[in-house]
A = this chain, B = another copy of it.
Amino acid sequence: MNTVDPAAPTVGLTVPAKVGDRLEDVGTPALIVDLDAFERNIDRMRAFCAAHGVRHRAHAKTHKSADIALIQMTRGGACGICCQKVSEAEALVAGGVTDVLVSNQVIDRAKIDRLAALAGRARVLVCVDDAGNVDDLSAAACRHGSMLECLVEIDVGAGRCGVAAGAPAVALAKRIAAASGLKFSGLQAYHGGAQHLREHAKRRAAIAAATGQVETTLALLKGDGLDCPIVGGAGTGTYRFEGTSGVYNELQAGSYVFMDADYQRDLDEHGHPVTDFENALFIWTQVMSHVRPDRAVCDAGLKVQSVDSGLPVVFGRSDVVYVKATDEHGVIDDPHGALRLGDKLKLVPGHCDPTCNVHDWYVGVRAGRVEVLWPVTARGMLL
């Protein structure tokens, strides 16, 4: 952990703390990382992948941090990193990541050009679901004298990007294999729609169906003499299914490193909330108004989180409930008047990925002290 030690920034406009500060003195609102829980999450995913003989390509769209990506690759044993944007990939490579999959389509020619340039500095993979796009990628790779590895994305149920499994996927794989500057490196078969199916049996069935579609495609590829070194997919909600499928060999879970309130609503086979990973990420917030005895107002509203997957949960407290988010405020029901003006609380974000996306810093805390500050390296990298 201490190998990552950026020059300590000056506490100021956007920097909520300095190394050595006590947790209670960290400014609000801010993202804090419980480093012990974070490390346990990383260790658990490494152990799972080792036990099942699969690789982990950790998804950086969760955290957008080069520092965390490097920890996932070193301590966590990840073979590489996923991200979603060319600009994210550029920022991660600049931060030391050597192997990056843009697990998304890149259509715009200016972005394709940057991607092909980046492939001269790191291993770069990208997803494809369109034949014309293959031609554009090939032309750019040839122009830069670089090699872009391509995964054919198949839509295994999410209803978003990707061609149909089977013949359409194979046709695209052949086109890639025949294109200069490109390499067909496998299949992208991520089922985004399955991650938050609450029932264990439903998630299992969704991934079984996805796996079947992958197997069909693999058989056709084999029949055509095409190697498929990567079968990638899986998220924090389903990684156990892909990881034990015998078909997927590269898991792309990202949220596992932090967990969030929405993923914790997924249920295990006994109907209990999944406990594979711990909450390691919190919004640190302060009670800034408490006029009515039964209602506190904190400084964590819509600008420090995304509430698309529900409101945040007050961590470790059953006596107070976060009930409403407006732009700059969170309203907290405090029926027993337990909170005081100035009190600070930890909130578990409803959805970690778009929450991290609005912050500039992670404040890493251990034993009540700030141990490290990590910039959100790729924050704002939308292009």
Contacts and interface: CB of A to CB of B under 8 A. Distances in A.
A61 to B, nearest CB: 6
A29 B382 contact: yes
A295 B159 contact: yes
Contacts of A105: 288-289
A303 B108 contact: no
Interface string A319-343: 0000001111101000000000110
A7 interface: no
Contacts of A297: 160-161
Interface in A106-153: 106-108, 110-111, 129-130, 132-133
Contact of A155 (B163, B291, B359): B291
A358 interface: yes
A360 interface: yes
Contacts of A351: 302
A30 interface: yes
Contacts of A288: 104-107, 161
Contact of A308 (B132, B302, B331, B341): B302
Contacts of A358: 357-358, 380
Given A132-B341, A308-B302, A325-B308, A27 B163 contact: no
A258 to B, nearest CB: 14
Contact of A14 (B104, B341, B380): B380
B87 A14 contact: yes
A77 interface: no
Copy count, this protein chain? 2
A160 B297 CA distance: 7
A72 interface: no
Contacts of A91: 13
Interface string A289-321: 111000101000011101110000000000000
A30 B85 CA distance: 13
A383 interface: yes
A162 interface: yes
Interface string A81-115: 00011010011000000000000111110110000
Given A90-B13, A91-B13, A297-B160, A342 B383 contact: no
A264 interface: no
A161 to B, nearest CB: 4
B328 A104 contact: yes
Interface string A274-295: 0000000000001111110001
Interface string A240-252: 0000000000000
Given A84-B327, A329-B161, A383 B16 contact: yes
Contacts of A85: 328
A364 to B, nearest CB: 18
Contacts of A61: 327-328
The 8 closest A-B pairs by CB, nearest first: A161-B289, A302-B354, A84-B328, A14-B380, A360-B380, A107-B288, A303-B357, A27-B383
13 contacts: A13-B383, A14-B380, A16-B382, A107-B288, A130-B341, A162-B289, A162-B291, A192-B326, A302-B306, A302-B353, A303-B353, A358-B358, A359-B382
Interface of A: 13-14, 16, 27-30, 61, 84-85, 87, 90-91, 104-108, 110-111, 129-130, 132-133, 155, 159-164, 192, 286-291, 295, 297, 302-304, 306-308, 325-329, 331, 341-342, 351, 353-354, 357-360, 379-383
